[in-house]
Amino acid sequence: MRGPPPRPSTESAPHLPARARGLRTSTHQAGQAREHGVRFLEPGVRSLGAVAGMPAQRHSSAAYAESPSSGEATLAECGESVTVERHGQRNRLEDTVTRPVSAYSAFPMRIAVAAFLLAVLLFPAAAPSQTTVVPFGASGYRYTVVEHGGLPTFQSPAYDASSFLLGAAPFGSPGFCPLASTVQTLWPTDSDLLVRRAVTLPAGASEVSVAFANDNDVLVYWNGNLIASQTHGGCATHDSPVVSVPDALVQAGSNLLAVRGADRGSQSFLDIRVSAVLNAPPDCSSAVASPIRLWPPNHKLRSVTLTVTDPDGDPVTVTITSVRQDEAVQGRGDGRTRPDAMLGSESDQVRLRAERSGNGDGRVYEVAFRASDDNGGSCTGRALVGVPHDRGRGRVPINSGLNFDSLGA
Ligand SMILES: [Ca+2]
Ligand SMILES: [Ca+2]
Ligand SMILES: [Ca+2]
């Protein structure tokens, strides 16, 4: 999670425009007033990792291109122009990326808010979209052909179908109907075709449906339960019918779809598509700690809250699982206090001690957490919180890579 330790650099700090100093700092995430620290790993190579408040997995690959003469830079990750302030520190070069206060001036902000409200009114949130889990024409079916009504328990998950053949859809007998020319696996007319297929679904999948192109009739089973019986005459066409799977029958992981196709003569055909609304887990790289900087370093425990967003907009429960720090819990010059972190009353809260070693380069806390949505999706991640050494050259806490348990005595 941490970036490699910085190499000493001999690059000299360039002059910067005066306006780079004294600007309010913020990230590219509107409304989140915070600061980017940028570490020079070696001359010409820059990384956003290992800086307090920046979730490492989100920013480890971020980079920016800059024009040294102007001090202007563009964060590659968000395409935003920012100003780079650079200063040397103990053989290391540290940059602070700031965004001009003018970017937050009230007038453009009002326009942005108005545009957002207009967009909400004109384009209400779209319903979650269906994803094709098993397409028409898929392979991986176990099948056999029997006389009408044969093998009456073939649909049971406990049924041993190892003697069934492996085949691809569509099944049928070639003939004059348009879809008949696409037949992959032969199914003689005037017989029953029995097919079984595992359908793997992630946790939280909903609105599962099975669409058919069939000639003639189908009995549809999900995990051994009969969910539909459909008769069909004439040539097979896609999406005739579409059968909904009750949510109560859907399970995370492997599900068994079983279909008995019954042909009444002349021509036979069966093709299947399975669709579902899939749940996306929370995005742990979106984690934001608030506050991300603790100041002043008065040795008091301060409450820090983590928030994580979900791509589906689901409510997210964050649970902090551990806290590590890059300075000893009871080190020299830090006031000899312990522990330096205590879990908060809420699962997404932790109390971190606002202290750092006076002999060090700022303290970085690494807060590990698990985030879960209410549909069975989850992720794990880490958020960084820093205590700067000072408010001048040492204002960007540096993660040394050392690792101490903040919760321990
Ligand atoms: Ca979700
Ligand atoms: Ca301490
Ligand atoms: Ca440090």
Report the alpha-carbon distance of residue 33 to residue 50 in Å, rounded.
19
The first and second tokens of residue 112, run together, are 């942005």
User: What CA–CA distance (Å, rounded) separates 18 from 267?
Assistant: 82
What is the CA(409)–ligand 3 centre distance, in A? 19
- Point out the ligand nearest to the CA of residue 327: 3
Could you give the angle at the alpha carbon of 398 between the alpha carbons of 395 and 399, nearest 5°? 150
Ligand 1 centre distance from Cα of residue 89 (Å): 43
Res 227 pLDDT > 60: yes
pLDDT tier for residue 51 given thresholds of 50, 70 and 90: very low
User: Which ligand neighbours the alpha carbon of 402 most closely?
Assistant: 3
Closest CA to 194 of 250, 146, 247: 146
Output 123 or 243, whichever has higher pLDDT: 243
Please tell me the distance from the alpha carbon of residue 372 to that of residue 79, in angstroms, as a whole number: 30
Share of the chain above pLDDT 90, in %: 62
Q: Which residue has the higher pLDDT, 328 or 21?
A: 328
R_g of the chain computed on alpha carbons? 30
Residue 222 has pLDDT above 70, yes or no: yes
Q: Ligand 2 centre from 281 Cα, in Å?
A: 36
Q: Cα(263) to centroid of ligand 1, in Å?
A: 42
- Residue-wise pLDDT for 329-370, tens only, equals 988 777 789 999 999 999 999 999 999 999 999 999 999 999
Q: Is the pLDDT of residue 128 over 70?
A: no
- pTM recorded for the entire structure: 0.57
Distance from the alpha carbon of residue 318 to the mean position of ligand 1, in angstroms: 13
Distance of CA 147 to the CA centre of its chain: 49
How far does the centroid of ligand 3 lie from the alpha carbon of residue 325, in Å? 8
Percent of all residues in the chain with a pLDDT value above 70, rounded to a whole number: 69
Q: Residue 100 above 50 pLDDT?
A: no
Ligand nearest to the CA of 375: 1
Average pLDDT over residues 155-175: 97
How many Å lie between the centroid of ligand 1 and the Cα of residue 374?
Answer: 7
CA–CA dist 50, 59 (Å, integer): 9
CA geometry: angle at 133 spanning 171 and 314, to 5°?
160
State mean pLDDT over 34-52. 32
What values do phi and psi take at 118, rounded to 5? Answer: -65, -40
* pLDDT score at 409: 76
- The whole-angstrom separation of Cα 218 and Cα 258 is 10
| Cα 60 → chain centroid | 16
Distance of alpha carbon 299 from alpha carbon 317, whole angstroms = 29
Lowest mean pLDDT among 48-57, 270-279, 363-372: 48-57
Cα separation, 272 vs 179, whole angstroms: 13
Q: Is the pLDDT of residue 43 over 80?
A: no
In angstroms, what is the span from residue 386 Cα to ligand 3's centroid?
9
pLDDT tens-digit readout, 15-35: 333 333 333 232 333 223 233
Q: By the 8 A CB rule, do 328 and 321 touch?
A: no
CA 263 – ligand 3 centroid, Å: 74
The mean pLDDT of the chain is: 77
| Per-residue pLDDT, 240 | 82
- Position 334 scores a pLDDT of 74
CA 334 from centre of chain: 38
Q: What is the pLDDT of residue 126?
A: 54
**Helix or strand (DSSP H, E) at 307:** strand 301-309
| pLDDT for residue 216 is more than 50 | yes
**Ligand 2 centroid to residue 389 C-alpha, Å:** 14
> Who's near 152: CB < 8 A, 6+ residues apart?
none
pLDDT tens by residue, 246-272: 999 999 999 999 999 999 998 999 999
pLDDT given for residue 259 in this prediction: 98
Q: How many Å lie between the centroid of ligand 1 and the Cα of residue 286? A: 13
Output the CA 370–ligand 3 centroid distance in Å.
Answer: 25
Q: Cα(342) to centroid of ligand 3, in Å? A: 20
Q: What whole-number distance in Å separates Cα of residue 237 and Cα of residue 220?
A: 17
Nearest in space to 196 (alpha carbons), one of 261, 136, 115:
261
Of the listed ligands, the closest to the CA of 204 is 1
- Choose the weakest-confidence range: 69-78, 161-170, 299-308: 69-78
pLDDT digits (tens, 9 = 90+) for 170-195: 999 988 999 999 999 999 999 999 99
Residue whose C-alpha is closest to residue 322's, from 335, 308, 340: 340
Q: Which ligand is nearest to the CA of 202?
A: 1
Q: Are 59 and 49 in contact (CB under 8 A)?
A: yes
Topology of domain 131-277 in CATH is Jelly Rolls (2.60.120)
Ligand 2: centre distance to CA 332 (Å): 9
Of 239, 228, 191, 234, nearest in space to 215 by CA: 234
Q: Which of 44-58, 141-155, 187-201, 394-408 is predicted with the least confidence, judged by mean pLDDT?
A: 44-58
| Cα 88 from Cα 8, distance rounded (Å) | 11
Are 400 and 357 in contact by the 8 Å Cβ rule? The answer is no
Answer for the pair 261, 214: CB distance below 8 angstroms, yes or no: yes
- Asked if residue 282 lies in contact with residue 372, where contact means CB atoms within 8 angstroms, the answer is yes
Dist. CA 403 → ligand 2 center (Å): 14
Ligand number, closest to the Cα atom of 5 = 3
> 103 CA distance to ligand 2 centroid (A)?
39
* CA-to-CA separations, 276 to 180, 204, 282, 369, in angstroms, rounded: 27, 10, 19, 29
For residue 351, the CA-to-ligand 2 centroid distance in Å is: 13
Distance from Cα 361 to the centre of ligand 3, integer Å: 5
User: Measured in angstroms, how far is the CA atom of residue 57 from the centroid of ligand 1?
Assistant: 20
Can you name the CATH fold of 280-409?
Answer: Immunoglobulin-like (2.60.40)
For range 357-384, the mean pLDDT: 95
Maximal CA-CA distance, the chain: 90
Residue extents of the structural domains in the chain: 1-125, 131-277, 280-409
Region 102-130: mean pLDDT is 52
Q: How remote is the CA of residue 345 from the centroid of ligand 3, in Å?
A: 28
Rounded (10°) CA dihedral 157, 162, 165, 168 = 40
Residue 357 Cα to ligand 3 middle (Å): 8
Taking the CA of 336 as reference, the closest ligand is 2
Which whole number is the average pLDDT over 84-109? 34
Average pLDDT over residues 58-69: 30
Residues with Cβ–ion distance below 5 A, ligand 3: 326, 361, 398, 400
pLDDT of residue 201: 95
Better pLDDT: 79 or 271:
271
Specify the pLDDT at position 127: 59
Mean pLDDT, to the nearest integer, of 78-98?
33
Q: Is residue 1 over pLDDT 70?
A: no
Among all ligands shown, which has an atom nearest to the Cα of 387? Answer: 3
Residue (of 103, 50, 93, 106) closest to 72 by Cα position:
103
Q: Nearest ligand to the C-alpha of residue 309?
A: 1
pLDDT of residue 115: 58
Q: Which residues pair with 95 in a beta bridge?
A: 38, 86
How high is the pLDDT of residue 335?
75
Mean per-residue pLDDT for 86-115? 38
CA of 279 to the centre of ligand 1 (A): 5
pLDDT digits (tens, 9 = 90+) for 297-325: 999 999 999 999 999 999 999 999 999 99
